[in-house]
Chain A
Amino acid sequence: MDVDLYIDQIIQTYKNSIRFRIGFALLIIFIGLLIILLNAFNILTFPNEMKSLVSVSGTLVSSVCAFPIKEIVDRKNRIKLISELSEQHKHSTGADKKKLEELIWKFIEKNVLG
C-alpha cells in the first residue's frame, strides 16, 4: 500500500480520537457546570454548610477536562507533523522520496505507537 494511504488512515484515526475526546471534554465541563448551577439555585438538597464545598467540587469536575484536551492538542500536533512529512514526500523524487518514506515510518513507529 502506498505510504500516503497509510498516512491518511493514521490521520483519520487521529481525527476520530480527537472528535471523541472533544465530546468527552464537553461532557465533563457540562457536568461540572450543572453541579455548580444546581447548587447555586438550591436545587441540590445539600446542607448549607456544604454549599461552597459542592461548588468547588463542580469546578474540580470541570477542570478534569484538561486531560482529554491535552490529548487533543497532542494529536493535532502529530497530525500536523505527519501531514508535513507527507507533503514533503509527495513533492520529492528518487532517493529523497525513499529517505522521506523511511523517515515517515520511523516517525510513525516512534511517535504514533508511543
Chain B
Amino acid sequence: MENKNEQILSKFQNEEKRSRKRMFLYTSIPLIITVVLIVISYLSVDNANTQVKVLEIQKQDLEVTIGELNNSVILKTDSLAEMRKVMELAINYKDKRHSFNFSIDKELFSVYPKQTRLLSEMRELIDDEKVKWHLGGNSLEKGFDSPSFATYMINKFAKTNIENNERYKLKEVLPNLDSSPEVGDLVFYEHGYAMFYFKYRGKPFVVGMTPIGLASLTLDFGPKIIGYGKVDY
C-alpha cells in the first residue's frame, strides 16, 4: 500500500513537470505566430516603401522628361511657325525682284571694285542656278541659308573674316551701322535674312540667299529690317 502511494506521488510530481512543459509549448505557439506575422508585415512594408521610393524617382525622371519634351514641342512649334512665315514671304518675293545686268558693274567698279566682283559672282551664281537654299548648309555643293551664304561671300571677297561657328551671329560680329549702309554692307532682316546691300542710280537693292534661291530683291522685299553690318573690303 505504501509503495502504491509512493508511486502515485511520484506520478503526480512527474505530471506536474510535464504540465510545465505543456504550458511553455502552448504559450509559445501564439508568441511565435505573432513574431512571424510581425516579421512578414515588416518585410512587406519595407518592400512596399522601397518600391514607392523607386516609383517616386521614376516619377521625377518622367516629369523632367515631360518638361524637356514640352520645351522641345514649343521649340518645334515656334520653328514651324517661323518656317510658315518664311514660306509665305517666299511666295510674295516674285513681286519684289530686282533685275540687274552688267551695266551696274561698270558704274560700280571704279568706286567699289571688290564689292563689284562680289556682285558679279552672285549674278553668275543666280544665272547658273547651281546654288540652292539649304537650312544649315554652308557650301556650294550642299547649299546655303541666308547667313551662311553671306559668310561665304564675305570670307571670299572681303577683308573681314567670319568663323564658321559665328555665321549665325553676324549681327553681333560685324560692326553695327545705325543707318546708311554702303555698297557691299549687310542688311539684316527679320527671320534671319542677311543680304548684301547695293545701290544703283539712287535705287537700293539687296542680293543674297532666300528660300527660293539666290535672288536680287528690292530693299523692302518683305521682312522688317532690323539692322546693318559693316563689311570691310
Question: Chain A: residues with CB nearer than 8 A to chain B?
Answer: 1, 3, 6, 9-10, 13-14, 17, 20-21, 24, 28, 46-47, 49-50, 53-54, 57, 60-61, 64, 67-68, 71, 105, 108-109, 112-114
Q: A69: shortest Cβ distance to chain B, in Å?
A: 11
Partner pick for B34 among A47, A49, A50, A60, CB 8 A cutoff: A60
Q: List 15 A-B pairs, Cβ < 8 Å.
A: A3-B5, A10-B12, A13-B16, A17-B19, A46-B42, A47-B45, A50-B41, A50-B45, A60-B34, A61-B31, A67-B23, A67-B26, A67-B27, A68-B27, A113-B12
Q: Please, how many angstroms separate the alpha-carbon atoms of A14 and B9 in the complex?
A: 12
- State the majority secondary structure of interface residues on A: helix
The prevalent SS among residues of B at the interface is: helix
Q: Which residues of A contact B11 (CB under 8 A)?
A: 113
CB distance from A20 to the nearest CB of B (A): 7
Give the size of the chain B interface in residues (CB under 8 angstroms).
25
Bound-complex Cα distance A48 to B177 (A):
71
Sorted nearest first, the 10 A-B pairs with minimum C-beta distance are A47-B45, A112-B12, A57-B34, A64-B27, A49-B45, A64-B30, A67-B27, A60-B34, A113-B11, A17-B16
